[in-house]
Structure 1
Amino acid sequence: MFLKLMYITNSVDVALIAEKYGVDRIWIDLETLGKQERQGHIDSVKSKHSINDIKKISPKLTKSEMLVRVNPINPCSKEEIDKVIEAGADIIMLPMWKSLDDVKNFLTIVDKRVKTTLLLETKEAVECLDEVLENGGFDEIHIGLNDLHLSYHLKFMFELLANGTVEKICNKIKNYNIPYGFGGVARLGEGTLPAEKIIMEHYRLGSSRAILSRSFCNVDKTASLDEVKEIFKENMKTQRLFEEKVMKMSKKDFENNKDELSNCVEKIVKQMEA
């Protein structure tokens, strides 16, 4: 089965193009609390999305789901989550949770009105994962490599793939038959760490969802919607053809890729240190 692919945009036109070419989820990002402080020094997406964006896009989607990342649990969470559900979210994602209580509060507010996904991106979340899984009540988990690598004071987010952290987390979640994914993927042939190697790790580890990174289609660098269409058409076709190949690969292929990926990460980290 293909990976469920998610794309972050608050443009109606871009969302409909992404949906047309097979993107499974359109992602509206409302998270602002603490994000600049955590990620201000790295080149990550800092969104300026709003609840109105959900209202604009959600009614026009016919195949893709509307995923909304809200803020971490805070005194205004109930008000925010109620508005997000009313605006048309299909799935709500909770970022930066650090305890079972955070997760329980989130699930109580949502109250099964829509699907829920937990964004695991703190060292504390890794430490309380067993009790969170045992408690259950949510639909899926996504492992956020950007913040998680910062939480562990690492230099490069894919060190978490190379050092076995992601694999340990995936194995725990797998035992509960809960769908999970991790990180993002660039367009094939690109990325500091080649996208092909990361996709193979998704399949080796049983991951079933991934975020499409900015380099998959950087709308800020496109001249027109026609160009956006061409990029999505070409990149989604290439992505799915590669996934078809990966589905036929052997255990040995995956093990070799894992070793190559680790070597590649090691080289990248050494360059960063130099």
Structure 2
Amino acid sequence: MLITGDPETARAAERSGVDRVFVDMESRGKQERQGHLNAHRANHTLEDVERVAGSVDRAEVMVRVNPPGPETAHEVEAAIEAGAQRLMLPMFVSAGEVDDFLRQVDGRVPVTLLVETPAALARLPLYVGQLGARDQVHIGLNDLTLAAGLDFLFEPLAGGMLEEPARMCREAGVPFGFGGVGRIGNGDVPAEWILAEHVRLGSDWVILSRSFRGTGGPGEERADPERLREELLRLRECESALRCEGADFFERNRARLRERVFALADA
């Protein structure tokens, strides 16, 4: 998945093999939660949804609405009318909020539930069975890390917090993904190590970091199509190689990732 509200970047992403373009309309509460982080914070609009939806042919257009609230039903209607092919619900805490969202969407498009609060993670068994054949779960690490009082983005992964949710999703037949990934050969925790954890846990996708678009500056939208294509090819080649590895490799990778993450967190 690539987050963008820019039609040119969406087209370049699709040509490069990105499966889903992620238009992000979530704004309520995000600055207060994440304002101190060097993290993605978009403020895309319905006009961006329309332009992106009109710019791609194959890639799915997913729109993240705001957390559950009085305006959710209106946001659902407006996003679908603008061309959303999938909706994402962030920052929910209860199975009741999931029920309300599913009722508001009413099967018109599939949904992705963004599990990023400890309550939503703990209550996964209460709602995962309600999801339809095309619905999905994504575990968001930024807000989960903050809400759990942790210091570093990948501590939930290193500490085993994703093990049981991943198992539940696999057993329920619900596709899931988590977090994001940087370019191969980059990162305080190498992207290859993170990608290996996706393979081990059975994740189906990952969000591409801002670094795939260029320098990774907070305001940067436009992507270099050739660079995006090359970096995505390297990512897929790494994934293919990882899928040939055995269980011993993944346990060694898990151990080194845990050591690096907790060292960086000064836990």
TM-score range, shorter chain: over 0.9
**Aligned residue in 1 for 2:147:** 151
Deviation at 1:129, TM superposition (A): 1.2
Distance 2:146 2:214 in 1: 24
Distance 2:220 2:65 in 1: 31
Distance 2:55 2:7 in 1: 8
Distance 1:87 1:134 in 2: 29
SS at match of 1:245: helix
Distance 2:220 2:250 in 1: 39
**Aligned residue in 2 for 1:196:** 192
Counterparts of residues 1-274 of structure 1 (less than 5 Å) = 6-137=1-132, 139-218=135-214, 228-270=224-266
Please report the TM-score for the alignment, with normalisation by the length of structure 1. 0.92
Sequence identity of aligned pairs in percent? 40
5+ long unaligned stretches in structure 1: 1-5
Aligned pairs, number: 265
Which region of structure 1 is more displaced relative to structure 2, 93-102 or 164-173? 164-173
5+ long unaligned stretches in structure 2: none
SS at match of 1:60: coil
Matched letter for residue 60 of structure 1: S
Work out whether residues 213 and 220 of structure 2, in 8 Å CA contact, stay in contact via their aligned partners in 1.
no
Distance 1:237 1:32 in 2: 32
Distance 2:174 2:74 in 1: 28
Deviation at 1:91, TM superposition (A): 0.7
TM-aligned CA distance change 1:219 to 1:58, over 3 Å:
farther
Distance 2:151 2:210 in 1: 20
Please report the TM-score for the alignment, with normalisation by the length of structure 2. 0.95
Work out whether residues 20 and 60 of structure 2, in 8 Å CA contact, stay in contact via their aligned partners in 1.
yes
